[in-house]
Structure 1
Amino acid sequence: MCGRYTITISLEELLLRFHIDPAFPLYHRPRYNVAPGQLVPAIVNDGERNRIGELKWGLIPQWAKDESIGSKMINARAETVAEKPAYRIPLERKRCLVPADGFYEWKKKDDGKTKQPMRITLRNEAMFAMAGLYDIWTTPDGRKVSTCTVITTAPNRLMADIHDRMPVILRPEHESVWLDRGMRDTSRLLDMLKPYPAEEMRAYPVAAGVGNVSNDGPECIRELDDAAGAAKRREGAGE
């Protein structure tokens, strides 16, 4: 699954990377520990241009009776996304990009009882887009709630040692096709939902504090080995 991620870049970088009209900005600050249930920046295309806005992470289908279902729908499996009632129509008409520059997953330690949080990024540390779907649910009192889910797929060689799923990271050349509201070729869309090449990614351990959603600072993404090494160097220098 994909249950935590990071987007630590500036708003300017975000707008430039996804060719978004600056006339439609949103408030954005670097985020180091994005979690389900939170509002997340997402990109859609209105038929003419890309637009950015916030969606609640955890998809609530248009036909849902109440919003509690959203907590169970933070991810959609690529293998069944075209079949499940909650995702079939969004796949045809309501696709979005969820920008990120890393995501977290927990790897079992050798003792088999505890887990080590890992942050996974592209090797060049560039921003990327996770394939997402969105929907709009109307509350009983008429309020509109816009929500999204992140599509996951089988792990690549790097991720297989950490977890049995990973988010679908779209190739840059596929992003505009994914957002194209006129694209209804399901087979072509599904063909994009493949594991990202392992050789273009890296994973490194981070501190256990990332497991607490209230922790949302640069310390969340600090490489654990670097932090330990820095501490030893300080001790050696008598600090």
Structure 2
Amino acid sequence: MCGRFTLSAPVLKVREHFGLEELADFPPRYNIAPTQPILIVMEDEHVTGGPRRGRLARWGLIPAWAKDPADIPLLFNARAETAGERNAFRAALRYRRCLVPATGFYEWQKQGGKARSQPHFLRPRDGSLIAFAGLMETFLAPDGSEIDTATILTTQASADLRPIHERMPVVVPQMAFDFWLNCRDNEPADVTRLMGAAPEGLFEAIPVGEAVNSVANMGPTVQDRITPPDDGGSDAPGGQASLPF
């Protein structure tokens, strides 16, 4: 799964990478959590191949048919393998695909029989921006207000990341942005090939301290490398981690 991620690149770099004509300034964010606003990128719905738009959305998709968001689980991730079969995601996968700009994400690796898990910061080795595959849905609240919401698609982790966690976010390469975002011409079956694991070696895994476990800790020090006790780093065998929130 992907329950925390980062976006710390300068605004100008984000604009250039995602082909955005405009983008309001924003501070670097080092510990983005579900229910918080996230930046998503969508294609202009009226112009094929036209300018892309950046907008904010609540991280945690609320299906349009939901009566009360409190009655459904927090849908901050969607399994790529089954998203097209689930009522919560089927329409968004067909008509409202988006990109989620990021500079990395966090995962928690179980440490044998220990109660606590070791957090890791996973970032591109070359320091580049990445785009997670996302889905967007606008929820119409009972009071008439509209809430843009989004989820991040996940898939089987690449072999080099599997010792940390068995799943990872779907990463859309820059050359495939137009193909992924073009919901008029490309149906879910057409974009399936984009929803596999990222290439091995794309990410560097950095063991970090437990400060990242708290959403109140938002500064860059949550990414500081540590030496895990008992050599519990990214090369140690592990299984699926449970997020500590």
Same fold (TM over 0.5): yes
For 1:58 and 1:145, locate their aligned partners in 2 and report how far apart those are by CA, in whole Å. Answer: 11
In 1, Cα distance between equivalents of 2:27 and 2:73:
24
Q: Which residue of 1 aligns with 2:31?
A: 33
Q: Provide the C-alpha distance between the structure 2 equivalents of 1:2 and 1:80, rounded to a whole number of angstroms.
A: 16
Identify the residue that residue 111 of structure 2 maps to in structure 1: 109
SS in 2 for 1:86: coil
Structure 1 residue 70: Cα displacement? 6.3
Q: Which segment drifts farther, 75-84 or 171-180?
A: 171-180
Which residue matches 1:169?
171
Aligned to 1:229: none
Please name the residue that 1:6 is paired with: 6
Q: Per-residue displacement from partner, 1:21-62 (whole Å, max 9, x unpaired)?
A: 02xx22411000000000001100113210101000000011
Task: Name whichever of 157-166 and 184-193 sits farther off.
Answer: 184-193
Residues in 2 aligned to 1:114 and 1:198: alpha-carbon distance in whole angstroms: 27
Q: Is the deviation greater in 185-194 or in 120-129?
A: 185-194
The answer for the alignment partner of 1:232 in structure 2 is: none
Name the Cα RMSD after superposition. Answer: 1.5
Q: Which string of whole-angstrom CA distances, capped at 9 and with x for unpartnered residues, describes residues 72-108 of structure 1?
A: 2100001101111111111111011000010000011
Q: Contact (CA 8 Å) 2:180, 2:186: kept in 1 or not?
A: no
Q: 1:185, CA displacement in angstroms?
A: 2.7
Q: Is the 8 A contact 2:211 2:217 kept in 1?
A: yes
Supply the distance in 2 between the matched residues of 1:9 and 1:114 (Cα, whole angstroms).
Answer: 31
Counterpart AA for 1:139:
A
CA distance in 1, matches of 2:161, 2:200: 8
Q: In structure 2, how many angstroms separate the alpha carbons of the residues matched to 1:121 and 1:70?
A: 31
Shift, 1:121, TM fit: 1.1
SS at match of 1:183: coil
State the Cα distance separating 1:157 from its structure 2 match: 1.0
The structure whose residues are more often helix, as a share, is 1
Aligned to 2:132: 130
CA distance in 1, matches of 2:31, 2:180: 26
Aligned residue in 2 for 1:64? 66
Distance 1:154 1:73 in 2: 18
Moved more, 132-141 or 181-190: 181-190
**Larger C-alpha radius of gyration, 1 or 2?**
1
User: Contact between 1:117 and 1:207, CA under 8 Å: does it hold in 2?
Assistant: yes
Matched, 1:19 2:19: yes
Q: Would you say the 8 A contact 1:158–1:202 is kept in 2?
A: no
Which residue does the alignment assign to 2:223? 221
What's the counterpart of residue 41 of structure 2? 43
d(CA) in 2 for partners of 1:223, 1:70: 37
Give every structure 1 segment of 4 or more consecutive aligned residues whose post-TM-superposition deviation is greater than 6 Å: none
* Residue 186 (structure 1) shift: 2.1
Say whether 1:142 aligns with 2:144. Answer: yes
Q: CA deviation at 1:176?
A: 1.4
Q: 1:207 aligns with which of 195, 206, 209?
A: 209
Gaps of 5+ in 1: 226-239
1:172-187 equivalence runs, <5 A: 172-187=174-189
Structure 2: stretches of 5+ with no match in the other structure: 228-245
Give the drift of 1:10: 1.2
